[in-house]
């Protein structure tokens, strides 16, 4: 460590980019420190370490109420060592950056002593510098500026899963390795609310979910959202939403956002146009499309600001992304998740209809749907007879799959009455129809050995379609397949057939009829 300059902190510090490491200690303050555009309140005995190139300035409430020191220094590390020579190189990064969390009083004392040591022997300043570097290095919860968002994210994750536990601002700040004022400032900058405001809204929106889900006592709703006093819970609920929890129900849901394209489809089938959602190409153009994860392992790209502006009354999603939704936007509206695999398309529709009070609309859809299915099955049976078998394959970048009576197989096995191949039928029968089991991994070799009357091949690109067309023409076993020989091998588009929802399956049924009744390809 080489000390370059020590000076008294200016009460009118204008913005500058520091050329070396810069250590700031605050003795007293009534203003703000702005680091790379991020403003934070100053407090007594606060210490900040800025890396080379960092820009900072000070805004004082009262110009005579900021005292402190600034130390500029360079750091070096060993580059090479020989018997004759030891070579050091300058470094521009350190394990600590931004607000220093530990040993602040000792660091302030050392900085003051270095500033006043100009007349002392050199070894005095060198000893203080060595001790200073020791305290800076000893930061078990040190914070880098680029880690701020990740540390805020960690506390969000904790609150979204442990919101029933006693949570304090001090505890959250300690978890983030920041002082409470700085943590609260950064949190509000990211989430538009203070940590405790965010937690309160998350708890109360979770209470809304419980109240919507069924008959639950207010005392139980309070307990399950972290409130031991039901009267206090009721007051906070009414203060926040303008209505008491005893009067809140599904009639208060006017604006819905869907985080799942199948559930967007369900809403449209029930006559509900969501304010925004995950969309398929064929969906209503009036709906704002959101970039959403399909799986919990994928990144969350939704802009929080959109939800703040839209102020939805309900956010609907699959259970696989419910945790992410809760963490990012659970304070804005109740997040209701509907289990994806344990229910089939009709159970999904029933659940959503009850949630929104759309039972009559669902009944009308069921009546019309059942009539379409009856006519379609009669037409197919008149054309090709009964008892026919069919295999539904997909060929994508993920390989070859064989589908059961869910998703792509729903139309063929459940609506039109085709028989599934024996090896897939056994998997289908292990669970209630249309639940849990969707597909099994397969191969071209299995496809060659299949002897179904009809073959449906779903591809996700022109490349895969052409590849399969080539295989069918050139492979002796595939070209001899009964479905190929009889002109009953058809190609389907992945984007149309992956939708497992009311309007989607009706469009799939229409396309299947075109192939079956006209022999199209």
pLDDT in tens, 275-321: 988 887 656 667 787 776 666 656 666 678 889 888 999 999 999 88
Quick one: how far is CA 254 from the chain centroid? 24
Which pLDDT score, from 0 to 100, does residue 143 have? 44
Query: Are 414 and 405 in contact, with CB atoms under 8 Å apart?
Result: yes
CATH architecture for residues 146-246: Orthogonal Bundle (1.10)
Which pLDDT score, from 0 to 100, does residue 58 have? 82
Strand ranges in 186-283 using DSSP code E only, listed in sequence order? 256-258, 276-277
pLDDT in tens, 310-339: 899 999 999 988 988 998 999 999 999 999
Q: Does 366-518 match 2-142 at the fold level?
A: no
* Euclidean distance between CA atoms 112 and 108, whole angstroms: 6
CATH, domain range 252-356: 3.40.50.1980
pLDDT in tens, 188-212: 988 999 999 999 999 999 999 999 9
Q: Quick check: 141 pLDDT over 50?
A: no
User: Could you give the 3-state DSSP secondary structure of residue 332?
Assistant: coil
pLDDT in tens, 147-189: 677 788 889 988 998 999 999 999 999 888 888 988 998 999 8
> Where exactly are the structural domains of the chain?
2-142, 146-246, 252-356, 366-518
CATH, domain range 366-518: 3.40.50.1980
Domain topology for 2-142 = Jelly Rolls (2.60.120)
Which pLDDT score, from 0 to 100, does residue 430 have? 95
* Euclidean distance between CA atoms 6 and 114, whole angstroms: 8
* Euclidean distance between CA atoms 151 and 199, whole angstroms: 16
Which pLDDT score, from 0 to 100, does residue 224 have? 96
Selection from 73, 30, 32 nearest residue 49 by Cα: 73
User: Could you give the 3-state DSSP secondary structure of residue 396?
Assistant: strand
Which pLDDT score, from 0 to 100, does residue 521 have? 41
Query: Are 419 and 454 in contact, with CB atoms under 8 Å apart?
Result: no
Which two three-digit tokens encode residue 72? 């500029």
Which two three-digit tokens encode residue 45? 């005995």
* Euclidean distance between CA atoms 86 and 239, whole angstroms: 69
Which two three-digit tokens encode residue 325? 């939704």
* Range with the poorest average pLDDT among 24-28, 61-65, 193-197, 512-516: 61-65
pLDDT in tens, 109-122: 888 888 887 766 77
Q: Model confidence at 12, in pLDDT bands (50, 70, 90)?
A: low
Which two three-digit tokens encode residue 408? 């792509």
Residue with tokens 């076993």: 477
């Amino acid at each position: 460590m080489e000390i370059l300059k020590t000076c008294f902190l200016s009460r009118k510090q204008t913005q500058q980019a520091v050329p070396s490491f810069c250590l700031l200690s605050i003795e007293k303050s009534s203003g703000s420190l702005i680091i790379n555009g991020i403003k934070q309140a100053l407090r007594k005995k606060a210490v900040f370490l800025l890396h080379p190139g960092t820009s900072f300035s000070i805004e004082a409430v009262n110009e005579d109420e900021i005292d402190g020191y600034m130390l500029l220094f360079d750091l070096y590390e060993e580059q090479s060592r020989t018997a004759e020579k030891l070579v050091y190189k300058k470094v521009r990064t350190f394990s600590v950056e931004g607000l220093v969390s530990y040993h602040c009083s000792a660091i302030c004392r050392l900085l003051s002593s270095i500033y006043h040591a100009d007349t002392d022997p050199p070894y005095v300043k060198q000893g203080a510098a060595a001790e200073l570097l020791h305290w800076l290095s000893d930061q078990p919860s040190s914070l880098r500026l680029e880690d701020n968002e990740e540390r805020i994210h960690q506390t969000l994750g904790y609150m979204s899963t442990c919101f029933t536990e006693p949570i304090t601002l001090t505890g959250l700040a300690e978890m983030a390795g920041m002082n409470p004022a700085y943590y609260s400032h950064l949190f509000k900058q990211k989430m538009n609310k203070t940590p405790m405001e965010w937690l309160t809204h998350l708890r109360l929106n979770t209470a809304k979910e419980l109240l919507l889900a069924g008959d639950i006592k207010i005392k139980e709703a309070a307990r399950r959202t972290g409130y031991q006093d039901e009267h206090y819970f009721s007051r906070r609920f009414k203060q926040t939403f303008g209505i008491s929890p005893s009067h809140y129900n599904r009639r208060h849901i006017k604006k819905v956002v869907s985080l799942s394209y199948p559930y967007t489809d369900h809403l449209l089938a029930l006559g509900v146009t969501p304010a925004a959602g995950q969309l398929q190409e064929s969906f209503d153009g009036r709906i704002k499309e959101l970039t959403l994860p399909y799986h919990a392992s994928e990144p969350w790209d939704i802009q929080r600001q959109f939800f703040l502006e839209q102020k939805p009354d309900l956010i609907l999603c699959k259970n696989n992304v419910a945790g992410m939704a809760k963490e990012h936007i659970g304070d804005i509206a109740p997040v209701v998740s509907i289990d994806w695999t344990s229910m089939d398309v009709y159970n999904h529709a029933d659940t959503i209809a009850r949630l929104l009070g759309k039972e009559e609309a669902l009944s009308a859809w069921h009546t019309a749907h059942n009539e379409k299915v009856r006519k379609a099955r009669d037409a197919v049976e008149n054309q090709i007879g009964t008892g026919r078998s069919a295999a539904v394959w997909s060929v994508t970048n993920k390989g070859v799959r064989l589908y059961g009576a869910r998703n792509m197989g729903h139309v063929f096995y459940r609506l039109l009455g085709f028989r599934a191949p024996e090896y897939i039928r056994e998997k289908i029968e292990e669970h209630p129809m249309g639940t849990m089991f969707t597909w099994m991994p397969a191969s071209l070799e299995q496809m060659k050995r299949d002897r179904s009357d009809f073959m449906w091949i779903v591809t996700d690109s022109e490349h895969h379609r052409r590849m399969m067309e080539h295989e069918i023409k050139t492979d002796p076993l595939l070209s001899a397949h009964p479905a190929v020989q009889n002109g009953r091998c058809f190609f389907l588009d992945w984007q149309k057939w992956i939708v497992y929802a009311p309007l989607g399956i009706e469009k799939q049924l229409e396309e299947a009829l075109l192939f079956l009744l006209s022999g199209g390809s």
